[in-house]
Structure 1
Amino acid sequence: MITVEYCRQMARYNAWQNRGQMKAFKALTPMALRKDRKAFFSSIFGTANHLLWADQLWMSRFDGGFGPAGSGALSAELHDNLQLYLDDRMRTDARITRWAERLSQVDLVGPLTYHSAIADRELSKPMGLCAVHFFNHQTHHRGQLHAMLTAAGQTLGDTDLVFMPDEL
């Protein structure tokens, strides 16, 4: 279902796309970042915060490291300061890349057991499925961010995986 190379490629893609979106975030006013755009997490900043929160949650499950502050219900409020968000996003992307680089194929086999606050119980799912979900969740919310940033007047670069530069 999933390979180590897939995880490494998607970790690179995640970091590449996030760098482009962070540049667009910095070009917007605080008011534009926080404007209610009728998205599930309301604003550009709320959606970006949720995505960062979820990335940290999944990484804590994958690598046993720290998890995000607050509950999923508050994920859109992870940071209230853009620079703190940007710094945390860069650290988290580096963490994802390190995790992917250290993976072996056997790490993607077998169950991942974790407590789900949403389901309010322990879950056990195939690790490969969890890794695919992790990267799919990122792509889903970055698509929402891309649409909101475009509507806010920002021009973003290419988002097609096949056009990702070989060297980043």
Structure 2
Amino acid sequence: MMISTHYCLTMARYNAWQNKQLKACFEKLDKAELERDRGGFFGSIFATANHLLWGDSIWMSRLTDRPRPPGGIDDSPRMTRSREDWEIGRFQLDGDILLWAEHLRAIDLAGELRWYSGAVGADMVRPVSLCVAHMFNHQIHHRGQIHAMLTAAGLKAPTSDLVFMSQEGPWL
């Protein structure tokens, strides 16, 4: 097995910690600045944050009984319409990811995950552990893009180094 339950819990805590810091940064920008095209893969800070919310939602729907998010990957940059709606959705999802990780057993990371991928238009079968590692990697990848766009917007981007995350929380 390529990952452990401890890794998943650490990464779930890291995800919540990072998103809490992003929320504080987003509050410093007005709607126009959040939605301004900054040349990111999804254009704006807000569209990228929405895509990440959608991506986490789709992976959690595959790994748990959480409902599948509406739309597909092309709709993901518009998952929420306002910063406030994003904050609510992000807080709820981060809580769900933390609870999932806290109750995860090694056996839950074994075996294969099967799903239909709209992104590639095919049925997929991959090791569960690889899919979970991908979910956390996907978060880090897009938060890195947001970090760069926040810096370009003149803000002090949040600390993203995992080694500086408090071991005591609070995560949310």
> How does the TM-score come out when normalised to structure 2?
0.95
For each residue in 1:1-60, what CA deviation from the matched residue of structure 2 results, as whole angstroms up to 9, or x when unmatched? 100000000000000000001110111011100001011100000000000000000000
Q: Distance in 2 between matches of 1:25 and 1:19?
A: 10
For each residue in 1:81-121, what CA deviation from the matched residue of structure 2 results, as whole angstroms up to 9, or x when unmatched? 11011000000000100111111001101100111111222
Q: CA deviation at 1:160?
A: 0.7
Report the counterpart of residue 82 of structure 1 in structure 2: 83
SS of residue paired to 1:140: helix
After the TM superposition, list the runs of 4 or more consecutive aligned residues in structure 1 that deviate by more than 4 angstroms.
none
Work out whether 1:142 is the aligned partner of 2:148. Answer: no
- Please, which runs of 5 or more residues in structure 1 have no aligned partner? none
Q: Distance in 2 between matches of 1:25 and 1:88?
A: 15
Q: Distance in 2 between matches of 1:122 and 1:95?
A: 26
Report the counterpart of residue 4 of structure 1 in structure 2: 5
- Please, which runs of 5 or more residues in structure 2 have no aligned partner? none
Report the counterpart of residue 110 of structure 1 in structure 2: 111
> How does the TM-score come out when normalised to structure 1?
0.98
Report the counterpart of residue 162 of structure 1 in structure 2: 163
Identity among equivalent positions (%) equals 46
For each residue in 1:110-150, what CA deviation from the matched residue of structure 2 results, as whole angstroms up to 9, or x when unmatched? 10011111122221100010000000000000000011011
Q: How many residues align?
A: 168
SS of residue paired to 2:67: coil
